Structure 1
Amino acid sequence: MNLVKTYGGWKNRQLIAFFERYARVVLTRYADKVKYWMTFNEINSALHFPVMSQGLVASNGGNEMQNRYQAWHNQFVAGAKAVAIAHQLRSDLQIGCMLLYATTYAYDANPENQLAALKENQAMNHFCGDVQVRGEYPLYTESLMNHYGFSFKDLDTKPEDFKVLAANPVDYIGFSYYMSTAVNVTDKRLATANGNLVGGVKNPFLEASDWGWQIDPAGLRIALNELANRYNKPVFVVENGLGAKDVPDANHFVQDDYRINYLRAHIEAIRGAIADGVPVMGYTPWGCIDLVSASTGQMSKRYGFIYVDLDDEGHGTMKRYKKASFDWYKQVIASNGEQL
């Protein structure tokens, strides 16, 4: 909060030095215990939600896209410096980036929608990864910025920034995956998928969650293939899960077969990607216990294997109860995904 109030969030270059110091302290302390790290959670989500990853709101310039790209640049440099620190400490430390990834389709074969899907992929799914994994800005950078009325030269950069980026790319790609999206610019009559975090239109081939997020296990297999083959580095699914309305019975038990089915289908998609040759490092679902949903601020949007007796108003005993998915996922872990 102090970084937001005093310094204006990540659009301020001073945060690079702050983060470098923070990373050095934490990495030095835990280098012997923790081998896998990630720098900024869902860094690309700032395209739509800059408050969550950049500390930018309307009052400190969050509505101006130039500030978001400036904040990204500062984060890219800070993250690269963290990579350098880690590799200096131990050769076996691995630092990854972390993306919010939504596999993006054109709604149909209309070339205008195909082009729009390409542009959406560049802006949302690829830009932050391209810089952090490749160590340089992609060719389409100026096009992205021109779309919002500014140029790359308008950003506050220093020559040494680009040397740091080039010398310290991340070791792997971590990402969250909850849904896919479909892009349409040709038919204004199509219904929008309001539940989707990144917008788009409803995909007629997919079912949706209680909150309108389109469920697409095949999209995860596509995402794994796209990322691994784009960057030729290992990939790690670090978030995947189903937010649902859980109704416990008289014994506080939730028979959440819908959650089991969702996770099973996505783990099977990962198995398919591995068969495709994708180097998948791991899979961690969101999440193990019910908590307030970041996307809606609701307790009633539940993801966990453990039910917490608490409602959206904060009323309840806060006691915890295993759902059906608890023992199911315990078996999945024990068998390394063989028993689904």
Structure 2
Amino acid sequence: MVRVNERMNMYDVPAEDAERVRAQMDYHMFVAHALATTACHELVEGGKVGPAVSSTMTYPASNKPIDIWAAKMNDNFKTNYALDMYYYGDYPGYYKEYLEKAGISPIRHPEDEEILKSAKPDLIAVNYYRTLVASYLPETEEYPFGTKVNEIDYDLYGYFKIEKNPHLQASEYGAQIDPMGLRLVLNEYYNRYRLPLIITENGLGTPDTLTEYGKIHDDYRIDYIKAHIAACNDAIADGVELFGYCPWAVIDILSSHQGFKKRYGFVYINREDHDLKDLARIKKDSFYFYQKIIKDNGLSD
């Protein structure tokens, strides 16, 4: 169970202290993950364990070198620094510099170093939904170095600003649909760490319409899943060791930001945010599509 509460969303932390608290919480999670990894290896003979990350693949907004740097830093700040921490047991240099310049370096205990460096992951779990585009965002007098703007896919002054990609379609909630991005992510992570990969989340969150005949025709979700599984096949052909694909999700579940308006499942739950209705479970067209994928162990056409 994951409990989403005020502290997780920084509602009860003064704005001027939020990033310091977030960095400290982040560090505590790395230490806890390392302890859990070591415990798993000690308690479970042959057990395999690894981190699950929200993946990021960012394209530069132009071919300007500074935009290319900004795109790379967006990947680094939103995913790669964490993967390096899990794999090497320490923050990469660019992230240490940011923490120090922003004045938010977490408190670290001497014994943490051995805990972090001795915990070696066996795999990387990847959550993938979209790619991003970034341009360089210089610091200003109003927004000094390290100022974050927006909570989801944030901009960071001194580093990057998120832009729209005119070459991709987006979901109703702004996620840019990009199967090629999944292939790129899988290649990037495998070539960096040479660890087996599993996709633990991938799916399309969007409203669904229940017809008067009790059906949900979600061809858009079928197209999304089909294209992303094809991208997995391409990544495997590239040499990536990908051992699993887990769609998000089998059944409609509560979105932390959009409630029950944003649906991911292959099974529809007949309810709304403030109306439970009859809570009937209704198989969408995508249910039967994915059922066949399971039976065939992959795409058959």
Normalising by the smaller structure, the TM-score range is: 0.7 to 0.9
Segments of 5+ residues of structure 2 without an aligned counterpart are 139-149, 155-161
Give the 3 Å change call, closer, same or farther, for CA 65–176 of structure 1 in structure 2: same
Tell me the distance in 2 between the aligned counterparts of 1:197 and 1:288: 24
Tell me the distance in 2 between the aligned counterparts of 1:92 and 1:332: 30
* Structure 1 match to 2:127: 176
Tell me the distance in 2 between the aligned counterparts of 1:128 and 1:54: 21
* Count of matched residue pairs: 282
Assess if the C-alpha contact under 8 Å between 1:132 and 1:170 holds in 2.
yes
Give the 3 Å change call, closer, same or farther, for CA 61–282 of structure 1 in structure 2: farther
Indicate the SS of the match to 1:214.
Answer: coil
Q: Quick check: 314-323 or 221-230, which moved more?
A: 314-323
Tell me the distance in 2 between the aligned counterparts of 1:99 and 1:54: 21
Assess if the C-alpha contact under 8 Å between 2:226 and 2:299 holds in 1.
no
Aligned positions of 1:242-281 closer than 5 A: 242-281=204-243
Tell me the distance in 2 between the aligned counterparts of 1:236 and 1:258: 24
Q: 1:202 aligns with which of 146, 161, 164?
A: 164
Give the 3 Å change call, closer, same or farther, for CA 250–91 of structure 1 in structure 2: same
* Structure 2 match to 1:55: 8
Tell me the distance in 2 between the aligned counterparts of 1:156 and 1:175: 28
Tell me the distance in 2 between the aligned counterparts of 1:179 and 1:88: 36
Assess if the C-alpha contact under 8 Å between 1:80 and 1:164 holds in 2.
yes
Do structure 1's residue 328 and structure 2's residue 273 form an aligned pair?
no
The alpha-carbon deviation at position 90 of structure 1 amounts to: 2.3
The alpha-carbon deviation at position 138 of structure 1 amounts to: 1.5
Q: Give the partner amino acid of 2:134.
A: V
* Structure 2 match to 1:13: none
* Structure 2 match to 1:219: 181
Indicate the SS of the match to 2:51.
Answer: strand
Q: 1:289 aligns with which of 228, 251, 258?
A: 251
Tell me the distance in 2 between the aligned counterparts of 1:202 and 1:278: 29
The alpha-carbon deviation at position 134 of structure 1 amounts to: 2.0
Do structure 1's residue 185 and structure 2's residue 136 form an aligned pair?
yes
Q: 2:192 aligns with which of 230, 233, 241?
A: 230
Q: Deviations over 1:190-216 (max 9, x none)?
A: xxxxx9941521101100112221100
* Structure 2 match to 1:311: 272
Tell me the distance in 1 between the aligned counterparts of 2:206 and 2:215: 15
Tell me the distance in 2 between the aligned counterparts of 1:208 and 1:147: 35
Give the 3 Å change call, closer, same or farther, for CA 91–136 of structure 1 in structure 2: farther
The alpha-carbon deviation at position 260 of structure 1 amounts to: 0.2
Q: Deviations over 1:247-272 (max 9, x none)?
A: 12222111111100000000000110
Tell me the distance in 2 between the aligned counterparts of 1:53 and 1:284: 30
Q: Deviations over 1:107-151 (max 9, x none)?
A: 11011211111221211121111101222221223222134234x
Do structure 1's residue 302 and structure 2's residue 253 form an aligned pair?
no
* Structure 2 match to 1:145: 99
* Structure 1 match to 2:33: 79
- Could you say which structure has the higher helix fraction? 1
**TM-score computed with the length of structure 2 as normaliser:** 0.87
Q: Quick check: 68-77 or 231-240, which moved more?
A: 68-77
Q: Deviations over 1:261-312 (max 9, x none)?
A: 000000000110000111112111111111221232x212111111111112
Segments of 5+ residues of structure 1 without an aligned counterpart are 1-39, 42-50, 188-194
Indicate the SS of the match to 2:59.
Answer: strand
Tell me the distance in 2 between the aligned counterparts of 1:71 and 1:212: 28
Q: Deviations over 1:153-196 (max 9, x none)?
A: xx321121111111112211112111110002379xxxxxxx99
CA RMSD for the aligned pairs?
2.5
Identity rate, percent: 34
Tell me the distance in 1 between the aligned counterparts of 2:234 and 2:88: 26
Q: Quick check: 75-84 or 265-274, which moved more?
A: 75-84
Q: Give the partner amino acid of 1:183.
A: A
Assess if the C-alpha contact under 8 Å between 1:135 and 1:167 holds in 2.
yes
Assess if the C-alpha contact under 8 Å between 1:179 and 1:196 holds in 2.
no
